[in-house]
A and B are shown apart, each in its own frame.
Chain A
Amino acid sequence: MAVDSEPQFSDPSHDGSSQGIPLLELTKVSKYFGGVRALHEVDISVREGEVVALVGDNGAGKSTLVKIVSGVESPSAGEVRVGGETVRLDSPRDAAEAGIHTVFQDLSLCDNLDAVQNLFLGRERHGRLWSGRRVRRHLMEEEALRVLTSLSVKLRSLTTPVAALSGGQRQGIAICRALISDPAVVLLDEPTAALGVSQRGEVLDLIHRLREQGRGVVVISHDMKDVRQVADRVVVLRLGSRVAEFRRGAYTPSDLVSAMTGAAEPTND
């Protein structure tokens, strides 16, 4: 099977990831929109240096989960713990302060702003109040250059509005944003969708690098190949509930697909 021969990031030290500290822990999180049950008592945890993939069919509740963890929506019930402490993520700012950074599928870039402004959006380096919080552009430009070069994202100019950049460059900027705030947990929503082959490789590389830095990484993906390559654990959602969890190497693609579609209901573990 071609999928099985895909190279995987071998990292034996992460096999015993259950011993790490849970950076992010969701306990019995539910979300209802009126009478619609989007999420029902979902438990998920991410530890230091661990990549957890979240898979599921359309309508499985992945987007709702992303919104809850990124602070866009509040859960109807349940608990979110970051580093062992219960937190309320009422706004994206709360989530950022708790150390959770989300890279959204639509990248959430402001097209009319340039690369530097987008990288630091909401976290600008600025002066004192008496200066009207003057933006310290030179500091931001240098840090931006450093981060962009470290991930080999090449831009013609730091001052072009990002609307004029290519899809790969925009994705690069969106992901570099994750490194600016030095978050404990990085949440990536469909990071490889709509990317070319080499760019996809770069993104998977970056996920690996985030894990090496000891961050917790949550990847939401449709792509079974990506999931098999990067994930230490795979959590399967179906119709708002957690239906299965697999460890690296302990599943086949058909296990995932049957769990996602509910074709063969596996035992919940």
Chain B
Amino acid sequence: MTVSTSPSGAPPAARRTLVSRAIESATHRSIPVLVVLAIIWAIFYSQSSAYLSFQNLTNLTLQIVTTAILALGVVFVLLVGEIDLSSAVLSGVCAAVAAGLVVNSGLPLTVGIAAAVLAGMAVTFIEAQVIMFGVPSLIVTLGGMVILQGLILVVLPPEFTISVAATPFAKIASTTIPAGMSYALAAAGTVAFAAYRLFQRREQVSTGSSASVAAVVVPSLVIAAALFGGVFTLTRQRGLPMPLLILAVMLLIAWYATTQTRYGIHLYAVGGDREAAQRAGIPVRRMVLYSFLVLGACAAVAGMVDASRQLGVSVTSGSGPLMLNAIAAAVVGGTSLFGGRGSIWSALLGALVIGSISNGVQLLGLSTEVQYFATGSVLIVAVAADVALARGSLLPGRR
């Protein structure tokens, strides 16, 4: 969501509409990360004009898909005030399950996908049960990570690797949606968004609230620009890559669930103040469980997309920097580690920031340590900027 409205153009508080408010609240926490992203892009673009080429932007988006999907699940867990360290390895286990069933046992792709998602949710279900028993999530998922590193050895065949090249499994990542179809999707998305905004406005008008037509038209135009611009950029090579569509659909569902539904309010309430949520009759433990189940499903999808892109599953699937990148993405994007604050867009924006750095470093042929230095610094700077913005001052806080 790269939308931004100028505060000076906002109507007075009393007449403030649902729409402008939704955009404002979503962008408020996104401002620091958008600035950081712009700075990173400007720096790398000044070093190499190839950085912002259509080709490289398409590569960049493909590189961040796995991190972004996993970060999406992590955001749900962070929002209820828990943390997870095991989901990256879990994504490897789920990919091994799916690849084993599809490639080695010859089952249909849908069966493999369903089995992987169920396996992911089963593991996070068990983790959530132990967390509800009272063990801190940091410890449960740290232990879970080590156990899962063992489990992936059990799930993989004796040669510890499954190649998915030239199998139905590889099609997940290699499928592209033709440009025409992609534009049709963008048009459909714009129409659906405008229709939803119009529906909301009619609801408000029906009960006597004032709501301006501009509140429907302006965001719709912005969304249209973003969608068509994105499709235009990403279809220059071969068409819209399937993993991006998967990510977009997941973000859309997550946006609806977290901002438009009762579940969403309860999710934020549990992260904001568990005691208050409990007293209001919200099933706190069940909300924590739901978050972990969402994470399990996200981990499974991330694992399968990654395996399909890498054309194989091995013991190293899901290891390496994936876990820390996913957590860093969520936090850089503006989700609080202490729960209750942040939005699902932080998964996408944070993954873009982290992906932009590693992509730029590789493009310029810089050494790996530069990437580590830059990523670590950005993590700290982005959170510091968020803290300063929340406080409204650069001076140190009283706490």
Q: List residues of A whose CB falls within 8 A of some B CB.
A: 70, 72, 91-93, 96, 102, 104, 106, 108-113, 117, 121-124, 126, 131-139, 141-142, 156-157, 159
Contacts and interface: CB of A to CB of B under 8 A. Distances in A.
A159 B341 CA distance: 15
Nearest to A155: B13
B209 A109 contact: no
Interface pairs A-B: 9 shortest CB-CB? A122-B280, A93-B281, A112-B272, A110-B272, A122-B281, A108-B276, A121-B280, A112-B340, A133-B262
Interface string B344-379: 000000000000000000000000000000000000
Q: Is the interface of A mostly helix, strand, loop or mixed?
A: loop
B265 interface: yes
Given A110-B276, A112-B271, A136-B203, A91 B281 contact: yes
B209 A108 contact: no
A117 B204 contact: no
Contacts of A123: 280-281
Given A110-B277, A138-B204, 14 more contacts: A110-B269, A111-B340, A113-B268, A117-B269, A124-B265, A133-B263, A134-B261, A136-B203, A139-B207, A141-B209, A142-B208, A156-B13, A157-B13, A159-B21
Contact of B265 (A72, A91, A117): A117
B203 A121 contact: no
A139 B18 CA distance: 12
B278 interface: yes
Contacts of B278: 72, 92
B256 interface: yes
Interface in B233-271: 256-257, 260-266, 268-269, 271
Nearest to A116: B265
A67 to B, nearest CB: 10
B104 interface: no
Contacts of B280: 92, 108, 121-123
A70 B281 CA distance: 10
Given A92-B279, A93-B281, A138 B18 contact: yes
Contacts of B13: 156-157
B25 interface: yes
A166 B272 CA distance: 18
A38 B265 CA distance: 35
A92 B278 CA distance: 7
A113 to B, nearest CB: 6
B259 to A, nearest CB: 9
Contacts of B25: 159
B16 interface: yes
Contacts of A139: 207
Contacts of A124: 262, 265
Interface string B202-236: 01100111000000000000000000000000000
Contacts of B272: 110-113
10 contacts: A110-B272, A110-B276, A112-B268, A112-B271, A121-B265, A121-B280, A123-B280, A138-B200, A138-B207, A142-B208
